[in-house]
């Protein structure tokens, strides 16, 4: 009889982001149930997910409530693995509860946590990472950084952000946008740099259309920036939408100007849709993007970004089309099966 596992996942990620991580377990037959412990449940479209929300309160109260909820489940139910996303602090809370009950735990670093665990105040969280039975990271830069911090390399696994290839696929439809960006309208995402680069190109006589998909506290400020720069007609704010795949199909290039990322799902979804990535060289993005399949640009450099776009949208667009062909050749690296194989190793199923 095939081994059947129950996995408990504790996190405070955005619901749609966590749902995309949990989607991989639908492709591992041995995983029978995924218990999600979070302040509120995630979407119910995944058959194996069972939500166990503990309610939302202050950060400190949330931490206590998460620990109690996990401990209660581990005491009364059979759980084979505990997974904690973001060690600072939520994954560490989950790992602590798991260790006290002898349940194996895996911690996942997917963004800022990689930097946070290396700060002086992050030592308790780094200790949790060092003690974890397995750790997932988004690329080689995180791997090397953790090894330098004393984490045993054999316990570190690079977990790609895998994409639904049926949902995110290339399209020959007419393109409404030259460039699309997806992300929260917050300072760290640096959407202002994208708008300024559109303005820079317009002054050179090159008019490119930019779509910005997302919402956030800076929307009013960013709209005013586009208006003041004279490019309000070239920059469209699309708000939050569930049909990201439809928006991606309406563009040619995906751009990201963030000051920090791990590896963003938005970039992987864009590449699965055949878009050429022009992105900042932060986090572990450089492990996935090279001169063969996209372009890396410095953080905050409007001129370099504008120059790069201009190269891709030259009269014959030959460079962009060649990069797009390479992106499509690499699509299989982004599929669910690739990510599922990594989880099978972690869960000791292979």
For 271-323, how does the pLDDT look when each residue is reduced to its tens digit (9 = 90+)? 999 999 999 999 889 999 999 999 999 999 999 999 999 999 998 999 999 99
How many CA atoms lie within 13 Å of 187's alpha carbon, on the beta-carbon side?
0
* Within a domain: 168: no
* Within a domain: 172: no
12-65 pLDDT per residue, tens:
888 888 998 999 999 999 999 999 999 999 987 889 999 999 998 888 999 999
Cα–Cα separations (whole angstroms), residue 173 to 168, 209, 247: 14, 16, 11
- In this structure, are 301 and 203 located in the same domain? yes
What is the rounded average pLDDT of the residues 324-342?
A: 92
* Within a domain: 134: yes
- In this structure, are 81 and 147 located in the same domain? yes
* Within a domain: 204: yes
Counted domains in the chain? 2
Pairing between β-strand 210-213 and β-strand 177-182 as defined by DSSP bridges: parallel
- In this structure, are 134 and 200 located in the same domain? no
pLDDT at 1: 52
pLDDT at 2: 63
What is the rounded average pLDDT of the residues 140-150?
A: 94
* Within a domain: 47: yes
Whole domain around residue 309: which residue ranges? 177-333
- In this structure, are 313 and 341 located in the same domain? no
* Within a domain: 42: yes
Tell me the pLDDT band of 267, cut-offs 50, 70 and 90.
very high
Q: What are phi and psi of 80, to 5 degrees?
A: -90, -30
DSSP secondary structure letter of residue 24:
G
């Amino acid at each position: 009889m095939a081994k059947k596992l129950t996995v408990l996942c504790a996190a405070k990620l955005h619901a749609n982001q966590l749902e995309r991580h949990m989607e991989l377990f639908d492709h591992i037959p041995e995983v029978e149930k995924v218990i999600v412990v979070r302040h509120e449940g995630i979407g119910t479209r995944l058959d194996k997910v069972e939500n166990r929300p503990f309610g939302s309160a202050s950060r400190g109260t949330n931490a206590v409530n998460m620990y109690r909820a996990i401990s209660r489940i581990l005491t009364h139910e059979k759980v084979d693995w505990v997974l904690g996303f973001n060690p600072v602090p939520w994954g560490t809370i989950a790992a602590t509860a798991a260790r006290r009950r002898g349940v194996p735990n895996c911690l996942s670093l997917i963004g800022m946590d990689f930097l946070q665990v290396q700060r002086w105040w992050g030592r308790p969280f780094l200790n949790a990472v060092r003690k974890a039975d397995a750790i997932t990271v988004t690329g080689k830069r995180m791997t090397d950084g953790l090894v330098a911090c004393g984490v045993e390399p054999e316990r570190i696994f690079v977990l790609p952000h895998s994409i639904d290839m049926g949902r995110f696929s290339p399209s020959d439809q007419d393109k409404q946008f030259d460039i699309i960006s997806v992300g929260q309208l917050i300072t760290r995402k640096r959407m202002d740099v994208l708008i300024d680069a559109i303005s820079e190109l317009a002054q050179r006589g090159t008019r490119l259309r930019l779509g910005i998909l997302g919402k956030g506290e800076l929307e009013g400020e960013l709209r005013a920036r586009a208006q003041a720069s004279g490019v309000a007609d070239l920059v469209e704010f699309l708000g939050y939408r569930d049909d990201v795949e439809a928006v991606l199909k309406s563009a040619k290039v995906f751009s990201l100007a963030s000051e920090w990322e791990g590896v963003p799902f938005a970039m992987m979804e864009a590449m699965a849709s055949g878009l050429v990535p022009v992105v900042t060289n932060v986090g572990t993005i450089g492990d996935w993007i090279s001169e063969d399949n996209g372009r890396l640009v410095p953080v905050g450099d409007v001129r370099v970004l504008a120059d790069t776009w201009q190269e891709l949208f030259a009269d014959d667009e030959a460079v962009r089309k060649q990069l797009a062909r390479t992106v499509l050749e690499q699509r299989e690296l982004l599929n669910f099966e690739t990510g599922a194989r990594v989880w099978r190793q972690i869960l000791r199923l292979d």
